[in-house]
Amino acid sequence: EFGLTGIENDFLMNGILSFTIYAVIVYILLGGYKLRSVAAEQKKDVPDFNKKQLTTIAGVIVMVLMVMLLRINVGLVSFAVAAVLSFLRVSDETKAIKHIPWNTLLLITGVGVLMQLIIDLGGIKVLSDILVSLMSAKSAAAVMGLTSGIMSWFSSSSGVVMPTLLPTVPHVAQQLCGVNEVELASSITTISHVAAISPLSTGGALALAAYASAANANQKQQQNLFMKMFGVSALGVSVLCIFSYFGMFHWLL
């Protein structure tokens, strides 16, 4: 229906289904449903958007449309929109810069540089060859999932882990008889995105930075959230790797 091949369609549906199930389970276990009444009470006290906030929202919408429709580089558009918003004085730049969690941003950019260096030096290919030598047909999905999870703890799932590991799937499937490519790809994508809540990963770091800015959290509060986020991420990766060893992603095919 969407122009996908049979394998691509199975991979897409398998990934969506497995990650949705995991998200629902985590939502229930962590008590996300309990936040509904609190959110409803807070909405009553939220004032209407003012002119500056509406201008900012319009700028974000323009940025998204230019990237999606005109295929312009997102970094270039972001700087251009930010320059326009600064010219319109929608906020106090001095206060905004002070609230930026530079330690978190520098941490994630540094990790990103290290990951790119490893990729450029061929470290991923070496890793793939080592993994193949350690795998069996039964453990392939779990090993690939664990590898993607560990990588995603320190880098972007969609920006680094998936583009790096997914091309190795055909190679692994050829080397190991009886391995399903869709099962391997589903394990990589699902577990890497579960690991992305790590505060050392791109998504987790942005979440931590947003919390620190919005809640004006002190260093101790940020450290506590850091440990909780990494703990949830590690637990999710561990549980899904165990399930994948026993064929969870194969059951969903």
Contact 221, 215 (CB under 8 A): yes
pLDDT of 54 reads 92
pLDDT of 185 reads 86
- Above 90 in pLDDT, residue 57? yes
Q: Show contacts of 161-164: CB within 8 Å, 24+ apart.
A: 161/188, 161/192, 162/188, 162/189, 162/192, 164/119, 164/124
Gap between the Cα atoms of 165 and 185, Å rounded: 9
pLDDT above 90 coverage of the chain, percent: 7
pLDDT of 21 reads 79
Q: What is the pLDDT of residues 8-27, one digit of tens each?
A: 555 556 666 777 777 788 78
User: What number is the average pLDDT over the span 130-140?
Assistant: 83
Domains of the chain, residue spans: 99-251
What's the CA angle centered on 147, arms 137 and 229, to 5 degrees?
A: 135
Local confidence band at 6 (pLDDT 50, 70, 90 cut-offs): very low
- Above 60 in pLDDT, residue 49? yes
Gap between the Cα atoms of 193 and 4, Å rounded: 22
- Above 80 in pLDDT, residue 41? no
Local confidence band at 4 (pLDDT 50, 70, 90 cut-offs): very low
- Above 70 in pLDDT, residue 31? yes
- Above 50 in pLDDT, residue 47? yes
User: What number is the average pLDDT over the span 46-56?
Assistant: 85
- Residue 205 token pair: 């770091």
- Above 50 in pLDDT, residue 149? yes
Q: What is the pLDDT of residues 106-129, one digit of tens each?
A: 776 777 787 778 778 877 677 777
pLDDT of 202 reads 78
- Above 50 in pLDDT, residue 77? yes
Q: What is the pLDDT of residues 189-207, one digit of tens each?
A: 888 888 888 888 878 888 8
